[in-house]
Amino acid sequence: MANIHYNYYECENPCCGLRFPGQEGSLRGNRCPLCRTHVRIVTTLMLEHDSREELSPIPDMHLEVVLDNIRSAWNVGSMFRTADGVGIKKVFLCGFTPTPENPQVGKTALGAETVIPWEHFNNGFKIVKELKSQGYLLWALEDLPSAIPLYDMNIGIINSPVVLVVGNEVCGVDPGILEQCDRIIYIPMAGRKQSYNVAVAFGIATSYLLYCQSVAQGSFKKLPNT
């Protein structure tokens, strides 16, 4: 993939002064998107795309995810992008979770939805039960009194494929699915809110789990640079 040139622009209107990036040649009429005053280029940058063959930093952990009844297409897109970043093998979209056919998913996935295998199922409970029958370990991300703190998990080397289940932003994971799970995990918090945004929680959990698996295999190699 070719390198992409970006400019940083600054509005010449002293009452506005908006400073913003834009891909070279993409700004219409060289005008500010807020006040429509002319803008000037203040600096340029080039985003370099590394053409080296990408190697998975954690090749021996097979992690898939179930996104069950996620409401927000933007959250789903964000989770697709995270899934690509940490090497998740497949995404199961269940219930009314938006699929990549929804253009809003692509706005935050930024192309990750085209490279991560995915399937949609109306009934998340049924697909989770089927995966368990195939030998998958089922872990749910949910804040319950019986849940294990994420940072206290003794993961060790996992030879079986794992499915991480993430549920609805308000209701959480389906109780029927929770009954099928081998582990329930929660992320400790210091603030007053009881949960993170679902896409943020997904990123924290998957990055930490995969990094711990890498360490358990004797590698201290971190996940890829952003």
Q: Is 20 found in the same domain as 122?
A: no
Instruction: Say if 53 falls within a structural domain.
Output: no
What is the span of the domain harbouring residue 27? 4-47
pLDDT at 27 over 80: no
Same domain for 151 and 80: yes
Do 185 and 115 belong to one domain?
Answer: yes
Type and span of the H or E element at 6:
strand 4-11
Tens of pLDDT, residues 90-138: 999 999 999 999 999 999 999 999 999 999 999 999 999 999 999 999 9
- Tell me the pLDDT band of 25, cut-offs 50, 70 and 90: confident
CATH number at residue 112: 3.40.1280.10
Please tell me whether residues 86 and 173 are part of one structural domain. Answer: yes
| Together in a domain, 127 and 195 | yes
Mean predicted confidence (pLDDT) in 130-152: 93
CA distance 197 to 187: 12
224 belongs to a structural domain: no
The predicted pLDDT at position 6 comes to 84
Question: What φ, ψ does residue 40 adopt, rounded to 5°?
Answer: -125, 150
Degrees, nearest 5: CA angle 160-166-172:
135
In-domain check, residue 55? no
Q: Residue 185's closest CA among 126, 139, 127, 135?
A: 139
Residue 142 shares a structural domain with residue 210: yes
Verify that 85 and 124 share a domain, yes or no: yes
Q: How many domains does the chain have?
A: 2
Q: In which residue are the tokens 């409970």 written?
A: 125
Do 33 and 106 share a domain, yes or no?
no
Q: What is the pLDDT of residues 38-82, one digit of tens each?
A: 999 999 887 665 544 444 444 457 899 999 999 999 999 999 999
Whether residues 89 and 20 fall in one domain: no
Q: Does residue 200 fall inside a structural domain?
A: yes
Whether 97 and 195 share a structural domain: yes
The set of residues, in sequence order, having a beta carbon less than 8 Å from that of 79 and lying 6+ positions away, is 65, 67, 70, 91, 166, 198, 199, 202, 203
Q: 49 in helix, strand or coil?
A: coil
The predicted structure's pLDDT at residue 221? 53
Alpha-carbon distance of 183 to 219, in angstroms, equals 25
- Distance from C-alpha of 180 to C-alpha of 8, rounded to nearest angstrom: 51
